[in-house]
Structure 1
């Protein structure tokens, strides 16, 4: 149970860090191959670009979970609490609607890759598999947004959803330096 709780809390970081390691190894291998051995490795560019896309989408889900997406929170917090909540609810409802829309579009896009398989030029893998990040990414964003509201409601629905109280007593695992 503790391992599942850890995975739920750090899933996006695990994927993002793994992708960054893959990018670093691929680029480093290409530099060494070109400048030391005078050989070009064809797989490194494709591997690094796929890992970058995975890192971006899982990083976006991480930002939803941590409420790091671009917002003008100073302005929202300056509003009366009820109006500030309304603005946050409206923005989050629009974000959830966008995620649902993109899940539908991504599903159709992946269906085409499933029906008409296309292999990547260098790695020779079916493009369906790396492209699944669209469903995974938007699904994770939507799940994390819903989790934010469930946690906020469970904690008494005080303040703005997903925002730590301004008491300065943030839990260690949620404190950001």
Structure 2
């Protein structure tokens, strides 16, 4: 149970770190091979590119979980609380619909890769597997977005969804002092 809790809290970070490590090793191996041994390793570029895509989508999910994504929370927090909530809800609902749309489109994309397998030129692996990150990434973003609202509701629905109580109190205190 403890391991599952840890994995739930650190899944995206774990995948990002593994992918970034693979990228670093691949690029380093290519540099050493070219400049020390005067040979080119064909697999490094493809490996690094696939890992970069996985790291980006896992990083996006991590940003949703931590609410670090592009959003001007200072501007939203400066609005009256009820209006700020409405703005956040509308933005998150639109984002959730976008994630659902992208999951559907990505699923159709994966079905094509499943029906008509294509292998990568250097690694020779079926492209279906690395492309699953599209469904996984948008699915995780949607799950983390929903999870944010469950946690916000469970904690009493104070402030804005995704803002820590301390952040909310600090923002409202700053607003009161500026008046």
TM-score band by shorter chain is over 0.9
Runs of 4+ in 1 over 6 A off after TM superposition: none
Q: Within the alignment, does 1:153 sit opposite 2:153 as a pair?
A: yes
Please show how residues 123-142 of structure 1 align to structure 2 within 5 Å: 123-142=123-142
Residue number in structure 1 paired with 2:112: 112
Residue number in structure 2 paired with 1:57: 57
Residue number in structure 1 paired with 2:77: 77
- Cα displacement (A) at 1:167: 6.3
Distance 1:168 1:86, change over 3 A: closer
Matched-pair contact (CA < 8 Å) for 2:106–2:135: yes
> How many equivalent pairs are there?
169
Matched-pair contact (CA < 8 Å) for 2:159–2:168: no
- Cα displacement (A) at 1:72: 1.1
- Alignment gaps of 5+ in structure 1: 170-177
- Alignment gaps of 5+ in structure 2: 170-179
User: Which stretch has the larger CA shift, 67-76 or 82-91?
Assistant: 67-76
Note the alpha carbon deviations across 1:11-53, whole angstroms, 9 max, x for none. 0000000000000000000000000000000000000000000
| TM-score, length basis structure 1 | 0.94
Residue number in structure 2 paired with 1:4: 4
In structure 1, distance between residues paired with 2:75 and 2:29:
47
Higher helix share: 2
Residue number in structure 2 paired with 1:28: 28
Distance 1:167 1:161, change over 3 A: closer
Matched-pair contact (CA < 8 Å) for 2:60–2:141: yes
- Cα displacement (A) at 1:168: 9.4
- Cα displacement (A) at 1:166: 2.8
Distance 1:125 1:167, change over 3 A: closer
Distance 1:126 1:167, change over 3 A: closer
